[in-house]
Structure formats: C-alpha cells, structure tokens
C-alpha cells in the first residue's frame, strides 16, 4: 500500500471513529442539560424521612405523582390531556430529567407552585419559610417550572446526572410538601456513576425524600426514627 492510500485509510478510520463517538454521545445527552459538573467528591446520603422512588424512564409519557397518597398515573401530553389530569390528584410530573407541576400553564385549574430553598439541610427546615411560590411557565415554547428546572448537574465526562440536592417547598391543593431529589438512577447509587458510564436503561428512576403537611399546620414533622427509611415505590 503506497503512502497516499495509507493516509486515506487513516483519515477514513478517524472519520468513522468520530462519527460513531458523536452519535453515541448524542444518544446519551439529548434530554439532558449542558451545565458541566466539576470533578468533586460527594458523600453518600441517608435519611429517616419518607422516600419515594418515581419511574420516569419513558420519553413518550409523563408520570404524575400525588405525594400524599404515593400514587401515580401516566399521561402522554400535558397540553392534550387536561381532562384526565383534572380527574386525578397529583402534585408533580416527571419525564426523564424534566419536572412539571399541577399549576400555571401546565394546568390552569391546578394549585401547585414551587419555591427553591437551595442546598440547605433538609431537616433544619421545620417552619414554613416566607418564600415566593412559582407556577409553571412557558419559555421559548417549552413548559417548565423555573424553581425546579435546574435541579441537576450534568457530568460531561460520563454523560450522567447528579442532583444538586436542593430543598424545595411545594404548595399543593392539600397542604405543603418539603422535598429534595437524592438520586436519578434505578438500581445503582449515584456514587457509581461519577467514575463510570451508567447506561440510559439505568437512569430516570428518581429517589425523592419528602415530608407532607395538611392545610393549617405550620411546621414540618421531624424524622420519625433513627433507622434510615427504605425506598418506597410509587403506587400505580
């Protein structure tokens, strides 16, 4: 093989490699954000509060969750399924990394709005804080809630998702929720996804720590026991 053919073969091989790599990366980040996560280490988290595991793996359907009953149901399109949404009790809807609430432009008949307290200690938030609750809005044709849209960080090296573990207060139709998202992966701890590629099949099962108080109560309950809670699956 002469030098011209060798150079051509090398260029062709390089082009094919880059094409395969870019397609693979595109398949793994098309529904993620683009905020890079610095390479820092995080401690593992345990909690004595109620924990709910929400499956949000479908890219075609939304999983809507009522935290007071731990029940879920699915819809295909929030804008077209208004009647179905109003026949059910629900607070937040999940689809991969996206989160909507039962209020604002998502559902004008809903009463849900969200306030972001940032990465504060979950158990230290006992009294209802004086905050501004934000309903869902529309921006550039997309519906989201500005308070919770950036709940995660995207790790560029492994193309995986890490929760910021911010604490949110959610105003619902039957009281208030205090919650934070602990993990995005189904059967693997988030710590394993810092150094290796966790596949998309293992993603979008959000572990949510929360407490709920009915209308009229002015303080969130303390953790009930000294034993960390087992993760409960959201009921269909």
Give the tens place of pLDDT for each residue, 99-138.
999 999 999 999 999 999 999 999 999 999 999 999 999 9
- Angstrom distances, CA of residue 123 to CA of 43, 176, 183: 17, 15, 18
Burial of 127 (0-12, 13-18, 19+ CB in 10 A): exposed
Residue of higher predicted confidence among 192 and 213: 213
pTM for this predicted structure: 0.78
> What local confidence, expressed as pLDDT, does residue 47 receive?
82
Q: How confident is the model at residue 41 (pLDDT cuts 50, 70, 90)?
A: very low
Q: Residue 73: enclosing H or E segment and its boundaries?
A: strand 71-75
Residue 20 confidence (pLDDT) above 60: no
For the chain, give percent helix, strand, coil, nearest 5.
15, 35, 50
- Angstrom distances, CA of residue 41 to CA of 110, 129, 209: 39, 30, 21
The first and second tokens of residue 47, run together, are: 């909690």
Residue 68 confidence (pLDDT) above 80: yes
Tokens 């573990």, residue located: 165
Residue 35 confidence (pLDDT) above 90: no
Burial of 164 (0-12, 13-18, 19+ CB in 10 A): middle
Give the list of residues 6+ apart from residue 84 with CB closer than 8 angstroms, or none: 75
The first and second tokens of residue 32, run together, are: 């993620």
**Rounded mean pLDDT, 59-80:** 94
Give the tens place of pLDDT for each residue, 132-180.
999 999 988 899 999 999 999 988 877 889 999 999 999 998 999 999 9
């Amino acid at each position: 093989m002469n030098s011209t053919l060798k150079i051509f073969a090398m260029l062709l091989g390089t082009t094919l490699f880059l094409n395969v790599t870019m397609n693979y990366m595109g398949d793994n980040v098309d529904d993620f954000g683009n905020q890079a996560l610095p390479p820092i280490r995080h401690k593992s988290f345990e909690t004595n509060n109620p924990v709910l595991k929400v499956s949000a793996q479908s890219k075609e359907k939304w999983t809507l969750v009522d935290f007071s009953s731990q029940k879920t149901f699915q819809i295909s399109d929030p804008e077209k399924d208004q009647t179905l949404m109003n026949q059910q009790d629900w607070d937040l809807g999940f689809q991969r990394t996206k989160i909507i609430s039962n209020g604002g432009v998502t559902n004008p008949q809903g009463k849900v709005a969200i306030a972001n307290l940032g990465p504060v200690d979950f158990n230290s938030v006992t009294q209802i804080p004086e905050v501004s609750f934000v309903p869902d809005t529309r921006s550039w044709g997309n519906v989201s809630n500005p308070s919770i849209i950036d709940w995660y960080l995207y790790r560029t090296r492994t193309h995986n998702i890490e929760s910021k573990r911010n604490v949110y207060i959610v105003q619902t139709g039957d009281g208030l929720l205090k919650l934070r998202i602990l993990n995005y992966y189904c059967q693997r701890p988030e710590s394993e996804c810092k150094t290796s590629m966790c596949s998309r099949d293992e993603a979008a099962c959000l572990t949510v720590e929360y407490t709920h108080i009915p209308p009229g109560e002015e303080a969130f309950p303390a953790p009930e026991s000294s034993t960390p809670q087992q993760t409960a699956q959201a009921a269909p």
